[in-house]
Amino acid sequence: MSVALVGGTREDMAGTAITSVGNTEGSPVQIPAARYHAPAFAELEHEHVWPKAWIIACSIDHVSTPGDLFEVRIGRYSVLIVRGRDGELRAFQNACKHRGIALCSGSAQDLKHLRCPYHGWMYNLRGELTGVPSHRGFGAQMKKENLSLTPVRVETWGPMVFVNLDMDAMPLAEYLEVVPEDSAALELDSFRCYATTRTEIPANWKLVADSFSETYHIQTLHREMLGSIDDIDAGQEIWGRTGVSRQLYGAASPRLIKSDNQAIWDSFIITQGERMGITESCPAPEPGEGETMIDVIGERVKLYQKDVKGLDLSKWSNHDVMYMHQYNIFPNLTVLITADILQVLCARPGDATDRAELVGMTFEREAAGVPRARPFDVDMPMDQASFGFVLDQDVKILENAQRGVQQPGLTHISLSCEEARIINTHRNLERYIGIEPSEITGGPA
C-alpha cells in the first residue's frame, strides 16, 4: 500500500498516489524556514537523526576484498567499514578506546590490523584490542576484551553499503520498506561502482536533498528537458521513510504547445545524450510503424551498451530503459535507476548549518563474472565539479537557495502537493526528533 503524506496523517492519506501535478485542493503546506539554517535545529538532527537512521556509506566495491577499509563521515560522526580477513563486512565507530583518537581516515587496502596513530593501540579487523604499548602502566586489572571498538550496524542493498550507529535499529530491509521489491526487476546487483565524487556545497543538507525530491522545478530550471520528459504524469508514491517518482523520457512534456520528433531527440541529446554515445545534435531517426521516439531512443541506448560494454539489455523493454525510477530514502538519499543507469546522490551535513557535502556515486552495469575493481574517489571543489548537464543546474542554484531561506521575513516555506517527497522528509524529521504537535500546517482538508 502506498501512503502519500502531504497535509494529513498517515491514516487519512492511506492508499493514495499522486501525479507530479499534485492535489489542487487545500492550502499550501507550510514548514518553518528556520529548519534550513537554525543551529538549534541542526543540533537536534545530530542528536536524533544521524545516529539513528540508516545512512549510505559507500559501495560494495570500496570494501569487496579482505583488508579493505573505508571511512564515512556524517557530520560529526565517523564510521569505519572494514572487510575482515574472514570476508565478513563490519563497521565501527572511529575512536580508539584509549583517548578517543580517530584511528583512520579515507580508505585503505590489504590491512591486517588498525593501529592508533597517537599511542599505538592495536585492533584486529574484528575490532578487538590486540596490543597496548607499555600495558603495565594501565594496571593488572586491564582487560582487553572490554576495550573493543564500538560496533556499528552495517548492511547492504544491491551494490550499496549502509551503516547505522544504533545497534538496536530495525534491519535495513525493513527500513527500506518496499523499495528493494519495487526495484528488483532492474537487477541492482549487477551494477559496479566506478567513481565517487564529494563536493562541498554552500547550503544546508536539506536544500541539497530537496533538489532531487521534486519535478516542479523542471519547467523553470531545466527547460532543456521539457522536450524529452513527461513531467506532468510523473507519478509519485510515498511509503513512509521512502518514496519514488517515475519519470518517462523520450516523450515531450504536456506543457509544450507543440513538439516533434526532432525536438524530442535534440532535448535528449542535450540532457542525456551520453546514454546513447551521442553528444552533438544530428538528424533524428524516424520511428518505425507503431513506434514512438521512446522506442527510437531506447533502442539506441541498448545498442550503445552492447557495442561499448558487450551488455545485452534486450530483457528490458524500451519503456524500462526510458523510465527513470527516482527513489528518495530518508533522510538524505536519492537513488536513480533505469535499465542502464544507477546513480546515487547523498547529501550530508557540513561543518555549519549552511554547509553540506554532496556525494555522487556512479555505477555501471557489468556482465556476469566481471571482477570488482576499486572505484575512483575524488574530492571536487564546487567550481570544478561536474555532475552532468542537468545536475549542474541543480547544484548551481543552491547558493541562492541558502541565501533566501535565511532572510528574516521568510518564516515559512510554502509547498505544493507536487513537492510531497520534501514534505515527507520533514514529517520524518519531526518523528525522529520528537516534534509534537507537528509544526507543519496546510495541505488538503
Asked if pLDDT for residue 356 goes beyond 80, the answer is yes
Sign of CA dihedral 429, 431, 436, 441: positive
The reported pLDDT for the residue numbered 272 is 95
Query: What is the percent of the chain where pLDDT is above 70?
Result: 94
What is the per-residue pLDDT across 39-55, written as a single tens digit (0 to 9) for each?
Answer: 999 999 999 999 999 99
Amino acid at 136: R
Please give the average per-residue pLDDT across 94-109, as a whole number: 96
Over 80: is that where the pLDDT of 157 sits? yes
Q: What share of the chain is helix, strand, coil (3-state, %, to 5)?
A: 30, 25, 45
**pLDDT tops 50 at residue 384:** yes
Q: Which residue has the higher pLDDT, 323 or 12?
A: 323
pLDDT value of position 18: 58
Which pLDDT score is estimated for 355? Answer: 97
User: Residue 324 pLDDT more than 50?
Assistant: yes
Specify the pTM: 0.93
Q: 337, 289, 290, 292: which is closest to 318 by C-alpha?
A: 292
From CA 363, how far away is CA 22, in angstroms rounded? 32
The pLDDT value recorded for residue 139 is 87
Long-range contact set of residues 252-258: C-beta below 8 Å, sequence gap at least 24: 252/226, 252/227, 252/228, 253/218, 253/219, 253/225, 253/226, 253/227, 253/229, 254/230, 255/219, 255/226, 255/231, 256/226, 256/227
Looking at the predicted structure, is the pLDDT value of residue 1 above 80?
no
The pLDDT, as a whole number, for residue 441 is: 94
Helix (H, G, I), strand (E, B) or coil at 322: helix
* Per-residue pLDDT, 20: 53
- Are 79 and 188 spatial neighbours (Cβ–Cβ below 8 Å)? no
Spell out the domains of the chain, with CATH numbers in brackets: 1-52+183-445 (3.90.380.10), 55-175 (2.102.10.10)
Average pLDDT of the segment spanning 415-425: 93
Rounded average pLDDT over 116-124: 97
Amino acid at 307: D
Q: Averaged over 307-311, what is the pLDDT?
A: 90
Question: 370 falls in which pLDDT band (50, 70, 90)?
Answer: confident
On the question of pLDDT at 63 being above 60, the answer is yes
Does the structure show a pLDDT above 60 at 305? Answer: yes
Question: Of 17 and 14, which is predicted with more confidence?
Answer: 17
Between residues 141 and 403, the one the model is more confident about: 403
Answer whether 209's CB lies under 8 Å from 347's CB: yes
State pLDDT tens for residues 327-339: 999 999 999 999 9
Is the distance from CB of 283 to CB of 294 less than 8 angstroms? no
List Cβ neighbours of 427 (8 Å cut-off, separation of 6 or more).
5, 438, 440
Average pLDDT over residues 403-432: 96
- The answer to whether 112 and 104 are in contact (CB under 8 A) is no
Q: Would the pLDDT of 383 be above 90? A: no
For 160-178, the pLDDT digits (tens) are: 999 999 999 999 999 999 9
Cα-to-chain-centroid distance, residue 59: 12
Question: Per residue in 388-401, pLDDT tens?
Answer: 889 889 999 999 99
Residue 76: what residue type? R
197 close to 382: Cβ distance less than 8 angstroms: no
Listed in order, strand segments (DSSP E) in 61-142 are 69-74, 77-83, 89-93, 107-108, 114-115, 122-123, 129-131
Average per-residue pLDDT for the chain: 92
pLDDT at 427 over 60: yes
pLDDT band at 6 (very low <50, low <70, confident <90, very high): very low
**Residue 35 CB partners (closer than 8 Å, separation 6+):** 41, 206, 426, 429
| 188-199: average pLDDT | 96
The pLDDT value recorded for residue 257 is: 84
Q: In what order do the strands lie in the sheet with 114-115?
A: 114-115, 122-123, 129-131
